[in-house]
Every structure is written in C-alpha cells, then in structure tokens.
Amino acid sequence: MDVLTEAFQWLNDPLNWTGRQGVLALTRTHLEVSAVAVAIALVVALPVGLWLGHRGRGATVGVVVANTTRALPTLALLTLLAATGWFGNTATALACAVFAVPPILANAVTGIGGVDPDARDAARGLGMSGARVMWSVEVPLAVPLIAAGIRTGAVQVLATVPLAALVGGTSLGTVVVSGFATQRYGKALAGGILVAGLCLLVEGLLAVLERVVTPRGLRSRTRGASSDTRPGPRRGRALPVAVGAPGGSNDPAPSP
C-alpha cells in the first residue's frame, strides 16, 4: 500500500482520534506543553529584552548570548536533561523554552530600541519618568515586533515539542515515533501531517491576534513601509535584526 494512502486511511479512522492515545488527547497535551514552554520563555526573555532595548546598551551582546542557544540542538539538550533525571513533558518544556528565547528577546530589543527618538524626547519633555516612557510610549510602538517575536517562538516550539516522545513524553510526536517503531510509515506520515497542520493553524491565529493588538496607526504605517522600497536614512542606534518583523523594517514610513 502507498504510504500516503495509508496515512490518509489512518487519519480517516475515527478510532485513532479518541482515547488516551488518540489524536485529540495528544493534541491537547501537545498544546499544553507548548504553552508552558512559551510562558517560560516569555518570563525570561521579555523583561530582559524590554530592559536592554530601553537601556540602549548591551543589547547586541544580550541577543548574541541568547542566540548561542541555537547552536545546541534541542534533542541534545533533551538528552542532557534525561541524563540528569529530567524526563517526559517537563524536560521537553524546558528544552523548548530555551529554543524560544532568542526570537522573543531579539524582537523585544529591536522593537524598543528602534522607537523614534523624537517620541522619547517628547515624552520626557512632558515630565514622564523612564519607566513611564517605556510602558506608555516605547512598548505600544514596539508591539508589532514584540508580537512577531512571540509568534515566531511559539510556532518553533510547536514544531519541536514532538521530540517529547523520544524522552518518555506525550505529544503528536507519539504518533510519529510509534509509527516508525512498528514500521507503519503511513502512521508516521500522518503524525507529521498533524504536526504541520497544527503549526499552520496556530501561525494563522497568532497572525490575526498580532494584527488585533497592533495599534491602528501602526498598521497603516506598516503597510506604507512595506509598499515603499525606496532607501532612506536610518535614525537611532544600530540594532540586531528582528525575527518575523512585519514589512521587514521598523523605520517610520518616508514622508510624501
């Protein structure tokens, strides 16, 4: 039987969708582990990124240090955690959190650091404190980049959580691993299709949410920046490149 045909037959079998090891239960566990991993990454990376971007010093060093975690494969990190006694979904959440830190941190630093200096000066001229400038001016203006970093990190985590099945955890990766273990390659392919579909679905939902939380004025500015390809002068500090930045730039659109 063709592997692709076997995969679709497995997906069309209602018995494979119910029960403790069914697709629905595994999907719920997959999402729970992913949510924990993203939450850990947010708690670690977002405050540091906001502080580094607001401070304006040490931002590049902080992002470079965070990006060094990408040199360590997630599977290798899971193996190290297993060697120290951490197994299952807990180890997977910790490993995936490390993997999600770089995009969240880089986009937070770039978003805050790339705010127009004139906006900061105007806020300080109104007598705002440094903390109030950050939360009332810098963070709202940086929302598109910050949200894009969170979206990128979340989708990366969703695509990595299937490795939980290799260290005693449960996720949609369980379908893939059990399919290979029993030489039912159609089942393994079905698991891969489920993971890809879940990633695409969450990517779309987060993209919509990203647009909703972006202030209306910034939406129109982003559209204008993406449609204008003319080079222009850059203002402010040199910053790390953001991940998933809408329009590919955080600069104000050129005046007509």
Tens-digit pLDDT profile for residues 56-73: 766 666 667 666 666 667
Which pLDDT value is given to residue 7?
Answer: 92
Q: Are 102 and 56 in contact (CB under 8 A)?
A: no
Extents of the domains making up the chain: 3-225+239-248
Which pLDDT value is given to residue 235?
Answer: 46
State mean pLDDT over 85-108: 86
Helices 139-160 and 88-113 meet at what angle, rounded to 10?
Answer: 150
Which pLDDT value is given to residue 136?
Answer: 81
How far apart (Å, rounded) are the C-alpha atoms in residues 173 and 85? 21
State mean pLDDT over 195-201: 95
State mean pLDDT over 119-124: 81
Tokens of 211: 């647009």
Which pLDDT value is given to residue 149?
Answer: 92
For 136-188, write each residue's pLDDT tens digit: 888 888 888 899 999 999 999 999 899 888 887 889 999 999 999 988 999 99
DSSP class of residue 14 equals: G
Which pLDDT value is given to residue 244?
Answer: 61
Which pLDDT value is given to residue 233?
Answer: 44
Q: Which residue has the higher pLDDT, 62 or 37?
A: 37
Give yes or no for residue 198 having a pLDDT over 80.
yes
Centre a 10 Å sphere on the Cβ of residue 60 and count the other Cβ atoms it contains: 15
pTM of this structure: 0.78
How far apart (Å, rounded) are the C-alpha atoms in residues 68 and 82? 21
For 218-252, write each residue's pLDDT tens digit: 666 555 544 444 444 444 454 555 666 544 444 44
Give yes or no for residue 207 having a pLDDT over 60.
yes
pLDDT above 70: percentage of residues in the chain: 77
Which pLDDT value is given to residue 11?
Answer: 93
Which pLDDT value is given to residue 253?
Answer: 43
Q: Which residue has the higher pLDDT, 193 or 68?
A: 193
Mean pLDDT across the chain, nearest whole number? 80
Which pLDDT value is given to residue 58?
Answer: 62
C-alpha distance from residue 59 to each of 51, 124, 225 (Å): 9, 22, 25
How far apart (Å, rounded) are the C-alpha atoms in residues 162 and 29? 11
Q: Are 213 and 147 in contact (CB under 8 A)?
A: yes
How far apart (Å, rounded) are the C-alpha atoms in residues 241 and 147? 15
In CATH, which of 3.20.20.140, 1.10.3720.10, 3.40.50.720, 3.40.50.300 is domain 3-225+239-248? 1.10.3720.10
Residues 117/108/150/119 CA torsion (nearest 10 deg): -20
Which region among 42-46, 68-72, 130-134 has the lowest average model confidence (pLDDT)? Answer: 68-72
